[in-house]
A and B are shown apart, each in its own frame.
Chain A
C-alpha cells in the first residue's frame, strides 16, 4: 500500500500540469478569438490609442505577428519565467503587481475559508446529530440565508452593523493608513509584521482583517455545512456507530469521536472548492472594504479596461486553484488510503 503513494502523487501531479496547460490554452484561445489580427492583439496589450504604424511596431516587438504555435510556446515560456506582460495603467510588469497584492488576498482568503470550514463542519455535525429538530432547521435556515446572499450584501451588512453602527471594527483598508507597512519579505502582512516585530502594525492589521475574513467565512460555510450534515447522517447510520452506542458510550463521544472522524474525510476535497469560491468572493469583498489586495486591483483593472492585468490575474488565480485542488487531492489520499488506488 505504501509503495503506491508515489505513483498516486505522480498521477495527480501530471493531471494538474495537464489541466494547467489546457487552462493556458483556453486563455490563449480566448485572446485570439477576440483579437484575430496582430494589430488587434497589440491594441489589447497596449491599451492606448496608437497609430497603425505604432501598432505594427508593437506587434512585431511582442512577437504577435508570428505563427500561432510559436506565440503559444512563447506565452507558456513567458508564464513560467514570470513574464505576464506589462500593466497598461502602472507601466510596470504585471508580476510585480501580483507579487504585491496576491499575498495580501491569499492571507485574507485562507483565514476566511478557515473560518468558513470551521463553522461549516461544526454546524453540519450539530445539524446531523440533531436531525429533524428545531436546531437542525435553524442551522438550515441560517446557511440558506448566508449562502443565498450575494457576497456584496453580506459584506455591506457586516460593515454597517459591526463597523458603522457598533463601532467595533474599522470599516475599510488593510491597516491604519498612518502606519508604515513592515518591509515585504514574504509579502504576507501578518508574517512580515511578526518578522519585523512591528506589533502596532500587526494589531491594526488584525483589526482590519476581521471584517473581510468574516464575510468570506460567512458566504462560504453553507456548502460545507450541507455536505458535512449529509456525510454525518450517513455515518451515524453505520453499524459501528450503533455498536458504539450499544457499548454505552455517551452520545457526545459517539458523535464527535466515532462518527465525526469518519464523516470528515470527504470534506477535505470541498476545502479546495471553498478556497476557489472564496477567491472569487474576495473580488467583491475587497472592493467594499477597500482592502487593497488582488481583488481590489481586479475591480480597478476592470474600470480602467486594463486587459493585460485581467488576463494575468485570471491565469494566476487559475493556477492557485489548480494547486489548491492538488493539495486537497493529496491530503485526501493521505487521510483515506482507499483513494490512492483509483
Chain B
C-alpha cells in the first residue's frame, strides 16, 4: 500500500522517513536499539502464543474436548485442587508453581497464560475497528470540511468529554455484560480519537500538490481520499495505534477488575487481581502477578510505539 502511494504521489520528498527505504531501514534501526528489540520479541511471543492458545481454546470448545484448551499450558487452569490452595510461589514447582496458586489451587501461571488470547484479541480488534471507523469519518469530514466537519468535531468533543473508563462502563453496562459487548463499548470509546487524528492529517494533506493534481485530472473524491490521502496520513497514526494496543489492554483489564465483561470461572488478568484482593496482604502473588503481566505487555507496546513515532518523525496533533 505504501509503495503504491509512493508512485502515485508526485512529490516524493513529502513521503515520511523510513517509508522509502522500507523494511531494511527498520531492521537497521531496531538492531541498534536493544530496548525495542527486546520489547518486539516479547510482543511477538505474546501475539504468537495468543494465536496458538486462542485457536486451541476455540477448537477445544468446538470439538467439546476441554483438555485441548490447556494442552500447551503447565496445568489445567480450571481445576479445583485444595492441596495446593494459596500455595506460595516456589521455583521447586517449576513450571506450574513459580507464580503460586490461587484459592482454588489453580496455578497462577496457567491462568495468566490461559487469559492471554482474550487480551490480545481485545486490543487488536478494538484498535483496528476504531481505526477503520475513525478513518472513514475523519478523512471524509476533513476532506469535505464545512458542516460535516463541524458536526464530527462537536460529536467527538462530546465523546472525549468522558474519561474513557467511565464511558466504557456506562456503555458495557447498557449493552449488557459480556466479552464482546465490552469490545463494542471500547470501540465506541476509541473511535473519536482516530477520527480526530485522520481529520487533522487530511486537513494538512488536502492542500498538497498531488491532491490538487488528482482533483484537476477528474479523479473521484472517494478515490482521492482512500488512494492518495489515506496512505500518506496513516504513518503517524501507526505509532499512536501501537501505543493504543497497550492502552486498550489497560482499559479492558481495568473494566474486568471492576467486574465488567468477565464470565464466571474464566480467568482474566483484571478479574484475577480483584479476586486476589481479599487475600492481601498475606497472599500477594494472586493479585500482583496478573497486574505485572499487563504492565509488561503495555511497557513493550509503548517502547515500540515510541520507536515508531521516532521513525515516522511526525508529531501528531488533534
Contact = CB atoms under 8 A, between A and B. Distances in A.
A186 to B, nearest CB: 24
B163 A279 contact: yes
Interface string A42-57: 0000000000000000
Contacts, number: 135
Interface string B158-202: 110111111101110111000000000000000000000000000
Contacts of B281: 159-160, 164-165
A284 B287 CA distance: 14
Interface stretch (B1-9, B138-146, B218-226, B249-257): B249-257
Interface stretch (B45-53, B209-217, B230-238, B288-296): B288-296
Given A19-B158, A307-B173, A321-B162, A299 B258 contact: yes
Given A148-B246, A150-B253, A322-B161, A284 B258 contact: yes
A310 B157 contact: no
Contacts of B260: 302
Interface string B30-72: 0000000000000000000000000000000000000000000
B17 interface: no
B161 A298 contact: no
A152 B161 contact: no
A314 B281 CA distance: 33
Nearest to B164: A280
B136 interface: no
Interface string A284-326: 1001100000000011001100010011011001100110010
A152 B292 contact: no
Contacts of B165: 280-281, 283
Interface stretch (B80-88, B93-101, B124-132, B270-278): B270-278
A330 to B, nearest CB: 17
Interface in B241-272: 246, 250, 253-254, 257-260, 270
Interface in A139-161: 144-145, 147-153, 156-157, 159-160
A20 B158 CA distance: 7
A156 to B, nearest CB: 5
Interface residues on B, range: 35 or more
Contacts of A119: none
Contacts of B159: 26
A82 to B, nearest CB: 20
B303 A22 contact: no
B288 A152 contact: no
Contacts of A96: none
A26 B166 CA distance: 14
Contacts of A31: 174
A149 B295 contact: yes
Most buried by A among B294, B295, B303: B295
Interface string B279-306: 0110010011001101100110011000
A323 to B, nearest CB: 10
Contacts of B166: 279-280, 283, 298, 313-314, 317-318
Main SS of the interface on chain A? helix
A335 interface: no
Contact of B158 (A22, A277, A310): A22
A18 interface: yes
Contacts of A313: 166
Given A156-B280, A156-B287, A302-B173, A150 B161 contact: no
Nearest to A307: B173
A188 interface: no
A156 B288 CA distance: 8
Contact of A311 (B170, B246, B288, B291): B170
Contacts of A18: 154, 157
Given A148-B298, A150-B295, A22 B258 contact: no
A98 B154 CA distance: 27
B155 interface: yes
A120 to B, nearest CB: 16
Contacts of B173: 302, 307, 310
Contacts of A26: 155, 158-159
Given A150-B257, A152-B254, A19 B161 contact: yes
A307 B159 CA distance: 20
B280 A159 contact: yes
B162 A145 contact: no
B163 A148 contact: no
B169 A310 contact: yes
Contacts of A279: 163, 166
Contacts of B175: 34
Q: Report the 6 A-B pairs with minimum CB-CB distance, sorted nearest first.
A: A153-B291, A280-B163, A22-B158, A164-B281, A148-B298, A280-B165
8 contacts: A18-B157, A26-B155, A144-B299, A147-B302, A160-B284, A276-B163, A310-B170, A314-B169
